[in-house]
Structure 1
């Protein structure tokens, strides 16, 4: 016996389908005694969003029990079935990747990949800001889908992309909750290594934080706990130390040192160094001697804050 293959549950599969379809859970499930038997969609993706109620969920060989609010992302070829509690409220969104991504809107691709890498149950919790937004988006999508003349309107794609984006964000938060945080020292070490590799590129703190899987305020708390400096101060300290080395141990003009360190404006570089050391680059170089006169060790840079 083969696994039933449908376009929509109960409808014959259509391999040429370029579907974008949304319906409330009750409209199809009530007629099947709230049970959707295990089946597959060969070329279609589905999102099931349950705003109120619960369900027993079959995803391939594993069964799950979930209570609202929750979402299920179902890639093509995944065996899935549901036994909903009577009067469960929510929506089922079905679409082809071709139909959705043809809009060429930036950001859909990463969200799409994150959500459908594997079949996933997302349980954001009632206090997650995504819950109210997702329910509102599904309500609007359902209303627009049923409105005469909007069958192929761009608004359907925009609303679907908004749903995917919010679900992707909720998935990231869920992953962060379920994955034990690395030890603070390990995170601090990773940040220090990133600064070592990228200080000349003038990355903002937010970019470092994103690579470490944390917020900018949390990264600042971590660095202050470990070394007494904010994250930006650490970046600037490393950049200043490199500038001092180049000023002392090379004979490059100040403008070339600035360019080598990623400063587009030499005048801004001079202000940055003066703010950090109390001296202009030329004065700093003169006060410490040239490479031909002696071979000093550059002092540690000041911890004073600044902005690039």
Structure 2
């Protein structure tokens, strides 16, 4: 792993060690602590890779995009590229992990994962995985190592890792997440397309009509699909994504509100402040101030 010296949300890129073979690195929490050093895990991070962790010992809290998860033995945490996350007391937990770029999972599997849930969960508690095939796939994945004396088998091992990782991720979609009542499969492929366009264009496209034109649907159809899948309109989903990114910048960054407004496609800081307050119920500056105050020692998991 490597990072910039920029304050706020710290971008973390994946720079695999020279001895890593293949497209997936299997490591452990102890291993990345040693590699990263004591200061690596103190501030909020935005990864350019995915991180899949299984807790085997200890407990800690981990925050992913303003949701705190209580981690305990048997739990699995999947932090996806682009999400902002904050380590808790990383020294208190142990377990294996996989680091990989999203491209390592083939396009068909990625499409199936995206289509499996309206909002892909980040956390699976041990009770949801007990006896589940996802656990078996994870056992097999973390068992595939690269002994120094078996480099001749590296291509086979690499291929096995890719297939086992893909199987584990797909099977996790079948496991019941902690907040199962909020997750269900999209009813139409068109809604999956809308989500993909929204993720890549939210900072410049703020209106439903932009996405409708891009996808070849009417605004009425997009709103209907959005409500069928989430209970929210397409415009509400667009606003939700913009506000999430604004919160990330306000809490984890130091940029003034005017700069954040510009980065999110607003031509005026005042308009952005009104937009944010209407949807978040608080002004951007007040949200930043509140977020800097001591947090609840018992957040929801």
The interval holding the TM-score normalised by the smaller chain is: 0.3 to 0.5
Q: Which has the higher contact order (CA 8 A, sep 6+)?
A: 2
TM-score (norm 1): 0.44
Larger radius of gyration: 1
TM-score of the two chains, using structure 2 as the length reference: 0.45
